[in-house]
Chain A
Amino acid sequence: MRPAPTLSSAFLQPAGEALPQPLLALRKQRGTALVDMPLPTRKTENWKYSSKHLKLSDELASPLPAGSASTSVAEDGYRVVFRNGVVDSEASRLPQVDGLSVQRFADLPDADATALAERLDNTLDSKATQMARLNSARFEDGLLITLKPDTVLREPLFIVHEVTASASGSAYPRIYVDAARHSQMTLVEEYLSSGDESVMVDSVTEFTVGDGAQITSIRLNVEGQNVQHIGATGVRQQRNSRFESHCVGFGGPLRRHDLQLRLEGEGAECKLNGVVVTQGKQHYDNHTCIDHMVPNCNSEETYRNIAADESHAVFNGRIHIHQDAQNSIAEMNNKNLLLSTGAEIDTKPELEIYADDVQCAHGATIGQLDKTSLFYLVSRGIDRRDANVLLTMAFINELVKQIPVEQVRDSANERLNQFFDHTFREA
């Protein structure tokens, strides 16, 4: 038997020494633990459909040179710009809000860095997020966002993650959000790229959501066709907190997002919406996992995949209701639309229920556009393209409308239109 391929040692040489000592030490320790890390293969359950798209050549191990990138949705308002995983303070505009602090990892005093080092990775299941461990060994910078109790941020905070692909390499953006009790915030993460050399983005964002806090996380993935993106988001929720996630992603050679939530305090609730659109030979893989650890929590999850041409979308939604989590309500719904016979969608709901008093519902469907509906629309003189667009939008409209930030909705709609122009062009 051939030994499983391991991560090349080239990946274990982090760049950027500007971090405080405790974080450098953490990085080193995580790196050591990665030596001989087997890479995901077809036999790795959580990478079954995606391992063949994961290309980790040594060129990709290099850090990326500095550069500037493309247009963002964040034209006005608060924003922090990451370039190739490093915060660009000059391009950032930070709010002066009492109770809010947004700090670069590099600027943290040692004591704070020590406290952070103890918490990093705590929201993620390390076994299920192999590539997030690489981020922990490689991050060059990062952002610590802290909300003091009762702090309410009225405007969204945009994080613009840009990568400049003028040479091959990889970037490791990292964010840690600590939202204390009854604080509120909307965080928009936008992933962009410029240039067309082959690059990899390995991002990790973590949230700890205190009692009664309300966090909305929006994620827009619109990088180029040369960008592999493997991202993980980890969330831990305390009593009566609410976490809302809206992910909109357009495909690439590999897009992978692991979203893991732990409902640890009674009365916590989460709502996860996701829209994925793929075309050409693109690949997109969403893995979500919700752990109901305690009684009386709600989770609601709605994901939609649309795959055209020869693209491939994957949805794996796991809900784990622990033994003590009586009176849990968990709803998961995944619908999929195939726009061509060459496209493929794999969906797998995974329910593990150990409590007996729970309400769980899950549904997954895969279908095509309905011919009768299409005929009805065109029989009214409606253009065939427009009819297809109406029917496709009908499939995701609800989710797009719910995105609470207008710029993101507009940007998503604009991207969708490009997708429609490509997919429903006149034959």
Chain B
Amino acid sequence: MLSIKNLHASVEGKEILKGINLEIKAGEVHAIMGPNGSGKSTLSQVLAGNEAFEVTSGEVTLNGENLLELETEKRAREGIFLAFQYPVEIPGVSNLQFLRTAVNAMRTHRGEDEMNAAEFMKLAKKVSQQVDLDPAFLKRGVNEGFSGGEKKRNEILQALLLQPKLAILDETDSGLDIDALKVVSDGVNALRAEDRAILMVTHYQRLLNHIVPDYVHVLAGGRIVKSGGRELALELEERGYSWLGVEDEEAAAH
């Protein structure tokens, strides 16, 4: 499904991704772990098409199609979804209006009729219950004044509404209490399907108890330095990153 070859990317002239290689097949769940500042969010943002990051070389294909040539909105319509590490607050745009515009953009792309306000409200209410978010949050501005956990649930709500082919979850488990972690993991598990793939960035092995990955990768210094099965996550939890010869990013900078 997704194939990343020798991907290099920089921001403000500084190279962050230094040759990423990764193959993700339909039906698989991949976890990416790694020290702070190693480039996990950069990779996620580059895949979603954030123009703040410049791809300097390498290629990325989604089902054989050159992803890097597509604009962000086209990537989304082809099935890429990024749950942001820091979801953006947009006061003045209601969450409901935002969600409905997004869902209808996808439906239009698929040649389906748009949903009217009433139909959409019904769907949105149902899905917000699924992620245990009070439907009152639909009326507020997008993520406006949401707590950290509420923002993360709102991201999963969007994933459930948009039904992506490849869901990239950037630390969607961070800042969640135990109950919320369960709710969010259930949401992610509901997305698992033969024809979908999930790429999740996390610092914690505990998420991987809920969403069992097929592969775990360690991203350090802009490269994937180790890949393995789910047992790698346990090992990392126990031993940290130093045994992999990975230095603390801060230290590496000096």
Select one of B71, B77, B87 contacting A376, CB under 8 A.
Answer: B87
CB atoms of A373 and B90 under 8 A apart: yes
Q: Identify the interface centre among A371, A372, A376, A393: most chain B CB within 10 Å of its CB.
A: A376
Known: A390-B101, A391-B93. A378 touches B73 (CB 8 A): yes
Q: How far is the CB of A225 from chain B (nearest CB, A)?
A: 30
Residues of chain B lying within 8 A (CB to CB) of residue A394: 90-93, 141
Known: A376-B87, A386-B101, A390-B101. A381 touches B92 (CB 8 A): no
Select one of A371, A372, A378, A397 contacting B71, CB under 8 A.
Answer: A378
B67: CB under 8 A from chain A?
no
Select one of B73, B90, B91 contacting A381, CB under 8 A.
Answer: B73
A379: CB under 8 A from chain B?
yes
Residues of chain A lying within 8 A (CB to CB) of residue B81: 379-380
CB atoms of A380 and B105 under 8 A apart: yes
CA distance in complex: A173, B215 (Å): 76
CB atoms of B52 and A384 under 8 A apart: no
Residues of chain A lying within 8 A (CB to CB) of residue B98: 377, 380, 382, 390
Closest-by-CB residue of A relative to B49 is: A379
A383: CB under 8 A from chain B?
yes
CA distance in complex: A376, B93 (Å): 12
CA distance in complex: A393, B71 (Å): 23
B32: CB under 8 A from chain A?
no
CB atoms of A375 and B92 under 8 A apart: no
Residues of chain A lying within 8 A (CB to CB) of residue B101: 382, 386, 390
A395: CB under 8 A from chain B?
yes
CA distance in complex: A91, B142 (Å): 47
Q: How far is the CB of A272 from chain B (nearest CB, A)?
A: 20
Residues of chain A lying within 8 A (CB to CB) of residue B49: 375, 379
How many positions in chain A have a CB within 8 Å of any CB in the partner chain? Answer: 22
Residues of chain B lying within 8 A (CB to CB) of residue A380: 76, 81, 98, 102, 105, 158, 162
CB atoms of A381 and B88 under 8 A apart: no
CB atoms of B76 and A390 under 8 A apart: no
A398: CB under 8 A from chain B?
yes
Q: How would residues 76 to 120 of chain B score, 1 for a CB under 8 Å from any chain A CB and 0 otherwise?
A: 110001101001101111000110011001100100000000000
Q: How far is the CB of A383 from chain B (nearest CB, A)?
A: 6
Residues of chain A lying within 8 A (CB to CB) of residue B142: 376
CB atoms of A379 and B90 under 8 A apart: no
CA distance in complex: A372, B87 (Å): 10
Q: Identify the interface centre among B51, B81, B92: most chain A CB within 10 Å of its CB.
A: B92
Residues of chain B lying within 8 A (CB to CB) of residue A393: 92-93
CB within 8 Å of A: which of B103-158?
105-106, 109, 141-142, 158
CB atoms of A390 and B77 under 8 A apart: no
Closest-by-CB residue of B relative to A398 is: B92
Closest-by-CB residue of B relative to A375 is: B50
Q: How would residues 174 to 211 of chain B score, 1 for a CB under 8 Å from any chain A CB and 0 otherwise?
A: 00000000000000000000000000000000000000
CB within 8 Å of B: which of A361-410?
371-373, 375-384, 386-387, 390-391, 393-395, 397-398
CA distance in complex: A145, B91 (Å): 41
Since A378-B72, A397-B92 are in contact, a sample of 9 more A-B pairs with Cβ atoms closer than 8 Å, ordered by chain A residue number, is A372-B88, A373-B90, A375-B88, A379-B72, A381-B102, A390-B101, A391-B90, A394-B141, A398-B92
Question: Which residues of chain A have a CB within 8 Å of any CB of chain B?
Answer: 371-373, 375-384, 386-387, 390-391, 393-395, 397-398
Question: Which residues of chain B have a CB within 8 Å of any CB of chain A?
Answer: 48-52, 71-73, 75-77, 81-82, 84, 87-88, 90-93, 97-98, 101-102, 105-106, 109, 141-142, 158, 162
